[in-house]
Structure 1
Amino acid sequence: MSELFRLATVEDAEELLNLTLRAYEPIRELGIKFPAATATIELVKENIQNSRCYVLESDKKIVATITARTYKEITNWPFLWWFAVDPLVKKKGVGSKLLTWVEETIIRDQLGEPAVTLATSDRHPWLIPMYERKGYERFFEVDQGEEGKGVFLRKILHPERYELEKHKELQKAN
């Protein structure tokens, strides 16, 4: 089995749309309105072109995807979203492998960022505990009315750098 981590290209859009819609079917059943849950080909292409959309290929087939982008309204750290794993390979560590690769290789080592963030809905029955098991901690919540709360989580990837950045931010504020 050959595996390849890489950035997605517009040529991957159809395959990514198919994978995403199948992966997000349980989200739609829960009535949670994540953009990826009702993605269109245009939205997938926009995500690929305007963010850093990564894929994990196994034997030349995309089995997982995750996007890193900025979300300056909430955080200065990179923000992960649009995380999807092919339902045919769920519970085999594929998603964890891609998530860890993006956290460590891209965000921590290449970009030099001390932390990473993501968000989910408090209405989702297992995502928050899953991310907490992977080292994420809640740092912000936003009330979305009928939709419940949006829960933002952060994972510190480099503690020394994180503390230094926090210290610099405090000095700026004073």
Structure 2
Amino acid sequence: MSEVYRLATLEDAPALLHVIYEAYVTIRELELHWPAAHADLALIQDNISANECYVLELNGVVAATVTLSKGNEVKAVTDFPFIKWFAVDPAYQGAGLGDKLLTFVEQSIIRDQVGAAAVTLATAEKHPWLLPMYERRGYERLHVFDFDNGDGPMHLLRKIVNSALYEQELHEKTKQIVNSTSE
């Protein structure tokens, strides 16, 4: 069994459309307003072009995907990188491929290449299993927001991927706050 982790190309767009559409059935049933759940080929291509869209290929077939956003969706709350559009083809769910892809992106990309101390993602409280799934993976609730669009409370979650760096950054921020209040 051959597993390949790589950035998606525009040629992958039809396969990604299939994976995301099939994986996001529950999102559509819950009537959540997530762009990925209602994506067409053009939006998939835009996502690949505008962000870092990673795939896990199993024997040459795209089985899972997750996107490292290059946008600023959560910059008002945190500077940590934001991942989105996580999906596993239902034909491969339960085989641990989603876990492998997320671990690859969290460690090899976010921690080692980007050099970030933590990573963030968002999910809806309304979804029956996503929030507990991410919490089991070590994500902690960071912020709650509501866009008043019917999705209900959305949770921004954070996972520390480099605890030494996180502690160092926390110490530096604390030092800055103390220095600014004593001036």
Shift of 1:169: 2.5
| CA deviation vs aligned residue, 1:25-58 (integer Å, no higher than 9, x gap) | 1110111111100001111111111111000000
Aligned to 2:96: 93
Shift of 1:163: 1.4
Gaps of 5+ in 1: none
Aligned to 1:33: 33
Aligned to 1:164: 168
Amino acid at match of 1:84: A
Amino acid at match of 1:21: Y
Does 2:113 correspond to 1:110?
Answer: yes
Alignment length (residue pairs): 174
Does 2:84 correspond to 1:55?
Answer: no
| % identity of equivalent residues | 49
CA distance in 1, matches of 2:42, 2:60: 23
CA distance in 2, matches of 1:39, 1:117: 22
CA distance in 2, matches of 1:104, 1:172: 28
Q: Secondary structure, in 3 states, of the residue corresponding to 2:53?
A: strand
Q: Secondary structure, in 3 states, of the residue corresponding to 1:125?
A: coil
Shift of 1:17: 0.7
Aligned to 1:4: 4
Shift of 1:92: 1.1
- Calculate the TM-score normalised by the size of structure 2: 0.91
| CA deviation vs aligned residue, 1:45-99 (integer Å, no higher than 9, x gap) | 1111111100000010000000011432332011010000000011110100000
Amino acid at match of 2:7: L
Amino acid at match of 2:120: T
Alignment of 1:132-147 (within 5 A): 132-145=135-148, 146-147=150-151
Shift of 1:167: 2.3
- RMSD between superposed Cα atoms in Å: 1.1
CA distance in 1, matches of 2:116, 2:7: 19
Amino acid at match of 1:49: S
Which has the larger strand fraction?
A: 1
| CA deviation vs aligned residue, 1:85-125 (integer Å, no higher than 9, x gap) | 00001111010000001001111111111100000011001
- Which of 150, 153, 158 pairs up with 2:157? 153
Greater radius of gyration (CA): 2
Q: Secondary structure, in 3 states, of the residue corresponding to 1:63?
A: strand
Does 2:50 correspond to 1:84?
Answer: no
Amino acid at match of 2:49: Q
Higher mean C-alpha displacement, 130-139 vs 68-77: 68-77
- Calculate the TM-score normalised by the size of structure 1: 0.96
